[in-house]
């Protein structure tokens, strides 16, 4: 067994000790994970953003248009001191403003219009029979939207529609819950398989 | 003053990005590409450096106050070791940097992810009670989905799988579509509020 497998196995067991209760071994592994993850993110960001997107084109190929993002990035360091922290608002403003500007058409197209057009399907099939599933989708979308409509009190027909909407929402939450649990379970099975096969050699 | 400048910069970049979307000119496309692929990435990378420095500061201060010394020290050691390994030996195929990622970070990350299965399941045991019609619908759809994706499904007919697929593809999809439409409308209005300066919470303090 190689050294890497021993370390990975011991750290996996350290994390699993949390199933008993919070303890120093788990806490040690948790702090190590946070530290290593921050270090990893820092290195990857440095390589993929700073070196590949900024320093190489700017200083290697003379692409002076990248001076602006460099200056904006350096302005972020204003955060290090309370007196200069206001400077960091400018790069944040660029991020937030450009993100908001790009989000307007992006939300209109793929988010809203695609979902609306996907919900509207023919209610009678080519064989002349009603398309019950399509009807359920339309009723579900409209009633769920009625549930989230807070400009009027949920009474009368709006009350009935919002009540039906909650039933559709419950089905959504139930199926999403089931999927989440099963995906986590499959990850756990993967970890258990690693422990039993590669680390402890109890199974083949 | 600085708040006003930041607000103006936000509005200018917001309107610029919005207008550029409607232009098919190569220059407009190049500017959009530069902002989304270079500006965003570079500023985010600098922000990450600020976050890492803050991480070091917080932990060093805690060590100076003699709080959780071994835990804070191991966290700092993990954080500092990754850049040191990357500078010393690179981040390629068989580098120590990649070794740490594969044998320390990845196994612990997936184990933490797997741990959540137990906590979600135990919380649902306490929370799932068929006290009302919506609660009963939630319970039944969750149980159908869980059973259809387990060994139990293989021992019975394909009814459970058909039922779970139908639930997922029609009623659940309908609610998902409505939620996505709601998210889209919410994001749209928030973006417009940011651009015109009604939403100012991101500016933070008063200076």
How do residues B5-16 score in pLDDT, each as one tens digit? Answer: 999 999 999 999
How do residues B86-121 score in pLDDT, each as one tens digit? Answer: 999 999 888 999 999 999 999 999 999 999 888 888
Q: Does A135 touch chain B (CB under 8 A)?
A: no
pLDDT at position A128: 84
Q: How confident is the model at residue B157 (pLDDT cuts 50, 70, 90)?
A: low
By CB neighbour count within 10 A (0-12 exposed, 13-18 middle, 19+ buried), where does B98 fall? middle
Cα-Cα-Cα-Cα torsion A130, A136, A139, A145, nearest 10 degrees, comes to: -150
Q: Which of A96, A112, A179 sits opposite B10 (nearest CB)?
A: A96
Contact B76, B56 (CB under 8 A): yes
Residue B104 to residue B98: CA distance in whole angstroms: 10
Question: What is the CA angle A60-A65-A71, rounded to 5?
Answer: 95
Neighbouring C-alpha atoms within 13 Å toward the C-beta of A153: 2
Residues near B151 by Cβ (< 8 Å), separated by ≥ 6? none
Q: Does B176 touch chain A (CB under 8 A)?
A: yes
Residue of B nearest to A118 (CA): B177
Closest by alpha carbon to B73, among B88, B83, B87, B62? B62
pLDDT at position B159: 82
Average pLDDT value over all residues in chain B? 90
Residues in chain B: 207
pLDDT at position B170: 93
Residues near B147 by Cβ (< 8 Å), separated by ≥ 6? B153, B160
Mutate to test the interface with B, among A1, A30, A42, A118 (most CBs of B within 10 A): A42
Q: How confident is the model at residue B153 (pLDDT cuts 50, 70, 90)?
A: low
CA distance A154 to chain B (A): 17
Q: Which residue has the higher pLDDT, B126 or B19?
A: B19
Mutate to test the interface with A, among B24, B50, B142 (most CBs of A within 10 A): B142
Q: Does A136 touch chain B (CB under 8 A)?
A: yes
Q: How many CB atoms lie within 10 A of CB B11?
A: 18
Q: How confident is the model at residue B44 (pLDDT cuts 50, 70, 90)?
A: very high
Q: How confident is the model at residue B1 (pLDDT cuts 50, 70, 90)?
A: low
Q: Are A90 and B91 an interchain contact pair (Cβ–Cβ within 8 Å)? A: no
Residue stretches of chain A with pLDDT short of 70:
none
Contacting residues of A for B10, CB less than 8 Å apart: 93-94, 96-97, 100
Contact B36, A120 (CB under 8 A): no
Contacting residues of B for A135, CB less than 8 Å apart: none
Q: Does B141 touch chain A (CB under 8 A)?
A: yes
Q: Does A124 touch chain B (CB under 8 A)?
A: no
The percent of residues above 70 in pLDDT, for chain B, comes to 96
pLDDT at position A85: 87
């Amino acid at each position: 067994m190689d050294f890497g497998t021993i370390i990975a196995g011991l750290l996996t067991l350290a994390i699993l000790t949390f199933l008993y209760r919070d303890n120093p071994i788990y806490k040690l592994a948790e702090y190590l994970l946070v530290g290593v993850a921050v270090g990893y993110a820092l290195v990857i960001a440095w390589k993929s953003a700073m070196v590949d997107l900024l320093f190489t084109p700017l200083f290697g190929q003379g692409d002076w248009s990248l001076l602006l993002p460099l200056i904006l990035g350096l302005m972020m360091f204003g955060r290090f001191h309370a007196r200069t922290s206001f400077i960091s608002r400018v790069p944040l403003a660029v991020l937030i403003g450009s993100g908001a500007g790009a989000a307007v058409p992006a939300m209109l197209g793929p988010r809203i219009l695609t979902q609306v057009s996907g919900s509207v399907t023919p209610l009678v099939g080519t064989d002349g029979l009603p398309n019950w599933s399509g009807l359920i989708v339309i009723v579900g979308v409209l009633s769920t939207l009625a549930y989230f409509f807070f400009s009027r009190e949920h009474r009368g027909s709006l009350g009935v529609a919002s009540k039906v909407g909650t039933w559709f929402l419950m089905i959504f939450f139930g199926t999403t819950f089931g999927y989440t649990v099963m995906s986590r379970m499959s990850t756990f099975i993967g970890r258990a398989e690693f422990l039993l096969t590669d680390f402890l050699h109890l199974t083949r | 003053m600085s708040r006003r400048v930041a607000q103006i910069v936000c509005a200018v970049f917001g309107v610029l990005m919005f207008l550029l979307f409607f232009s098919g000119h190569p220059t407009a496309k190049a500017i959009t590409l530069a902002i989304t692929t270079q500006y965003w990435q570079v500023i985010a990378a600098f922000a990450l450096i600020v976050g890492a420095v803050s991480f070091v500061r917080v932990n060093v201060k805690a060590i100076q106050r003699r709080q959780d010394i071994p835990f804070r020290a191991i966290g700092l050691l993990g954080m500092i070791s990754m850049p040191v390994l990357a500078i010393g030996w690179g981040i390629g195929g068989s580098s120590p940097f990649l070794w740490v990622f594969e044998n320390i970070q990845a196994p612990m990350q997936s184990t933490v992810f797997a741990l959540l299965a137990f906590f979600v399941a135990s919380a649902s045991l306490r929370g799932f009670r068929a006290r009302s019609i919506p609660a009963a619908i939630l319970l039944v759809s969750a149980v159908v989905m869980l059973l259809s994706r387990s060994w139990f499904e293989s021992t019975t007919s394909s009814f459970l799988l058909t039922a779970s697929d139908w639930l997922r593809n029609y009623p659940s999809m309908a609610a998902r579509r409505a939620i996505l439409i709601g998210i889209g409308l919410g994001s749209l209005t928030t973006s417009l509020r940011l651009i015109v300066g009604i939403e100012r919470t991101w500016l933070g303090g008063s200076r």
